[in-house]
Amino acid sequence: MERRRIVIVGATSGIGREVAMELLRQGWHVGVAGRRVERLREIEALAPARVKHRQMDVTREDAPEQLHGLVEELGGMDVFLLCAGIGRQNPTLQADVELGTAQTNVDGFIRMVDAAYDYFRRRGGGHIGVISSIAGTKGLGAAPAYSATKRFQNTYIDALAQLARMQRLAICFTDIRPGFVDTDLLRGDKRYPMLMNPARVAARIVRALGRRERVCVIDGRYRLLVFLWRLIPRWVWERMPVRN
């Protein structure tokens, strides 16, 4: 990879933490952000000369200010990776679950991606990566807000990619769409098929960023699944009891 400075928002656990660890092994300078500051300090302690951290909540209005502060401490940013996101099954449509998911996955997503876009616009170029999901491919009855917000993220990145070209900016985008990953987000009373190892997923993400892939579906099983999903007519899909 030519670029050597990355800021990862949502690095306290799961995919974000694993990506940070992989990039540290490769010699990158890494800025890590998230809500649990003790987890961030643990990462910084592994390579104090190459890691900076900042406590951040993407749902708060001061999150862009915290991002810019972290970038300044890091000495600049070449790649921005947004891993912060929430989601859970909610077939009973509990309002707090649906609205909370939208607050993080839509409001927080816009807030942070736009802040990164503005930074790269002023800098003259850069690379924005986001962790969305294959759930954005179809509306999942068991998780309405989650699947809808992931579709939103896919579309928003499509729009920003077009906007960057319209504005003749050297900003590239990578929309990373994993299937089920064995992280804290999925640990609970539900069972999920085809769970993937977080470290292997992180390695694939790093490769996708290095290649500047526009869309990366992880892994081959889920690429096949998404292909088949797209072939299912709406009237058939609505009658399928898709649940875990």
Note the pLDDT of residue 187.
54
CA 185, 186, 188, 190 dihedral sign is positive
Note the pLDDT of residue 224.
87
Residues 6+ apart with CB under 8 A from 108: 58, 59, 63, 84
Q: What is the CATH number of the domain that holds 179?
A: 3.40.50.720
Note the pLDDT of residue 243.
58
CA distance 211 to 131: 16
Instruction: Give the chain's domain count.
Output: 1
Residues of the chain with confidence (pLDDT) below 70? 1-3, 182-194, 242-244
Note the pLDDT of residue 111.
98
Note the pLDDT of residue 220.
78
Q: How do the residues of the chain divide into helix, strand and coil, expressed in percent and rounded to 5?
A: 50, 15, 30
Enter the DSSP assignment of 7.
E
Question: Would you say residue 243 lies in a domain?
Answer: no
Question: Would you say residue 171 lies in a domain?
Answer: yes
Question: Would you say residue 116 lies in a domain?
Answer: yes
Note the pLDDT of residue 189.
47
Per the structure, the complete domain to which residue 217 belongs is given by 5-237
Q: What region does 76 belong to: left with phi over 0, alpha with psi -120 to 50, or beta?
A: left
Enter the DSSP assignment of 232.
S
Note the pLDDT of residue 196.
78
Is the bond leading into 184 cis (omega within 30 degrees of zero)?
A: no
Note the pLDDT of residue 79.
97
Question: Would you say residue 163 lies in a domain?
Answer: yes
